[in-house]
Structure 1
Amino acid sequence: MSSNPIIDYHVVHALVLSVLAVTAAGTTWGVARWWAILPIVKANSRLR
């Protein structure tokens, strides 16, 4: 049983991940800057 009967943890985690994606948190806390300077990423725009 979940400790919160109204909202499942999957919903909370999905909302948190959505907020992180929308706010571009990868540039602050992730590896987005490092990823962007890789030669293979510069050559393939789909990887950005």
Structure 2
Amino acid sequence: MSTNPFADYHVVYAVMLIALAAVPAGDVLGLGRLWARLPVVRDHGWLR
């Protein structure tokens, strides 16, 4: 275990989760573009 607060695993994982939530990872690495083109998703904006 590390005693350095900047290298603590919890901090590293928290930063990674925030970064993934902030960028459109679904458009780049997943099915985000395909999902956005579905008619039901276009009709209901809360599904985006």
What is the TM-score normalised by the length of structure 2? 0.65
Greater share of helix: 2
- What runs of 5+ residues in structure 2 fail to find an aligned partner? none
- The alignment of Structure 1 onto Structure 2 pairs a total of residues equal to 45
Cα deviation, residue 32, structure 1 = 0.7
Q: In structure 1, what is the Cα distance between the partners aligned to 2:17 and 2:2? A: 19
| TM-score (ref. length: structure 1) | 0.65
RMSD: 1.7
1:47 paired with 2:47, answer: yes
User: Displaced runs of 4+ in structure 1, greater than 6 A?
Assistant: none
Counterpart code for 1:4: S
SS at match of 1:36: helix
Deviations 1:8-42 (A, max 9, x none): x3432232121122121221101110110111111
Structure 1, gaps ≥5 residues long? none
- The equivalent residue for 2:34 is 34
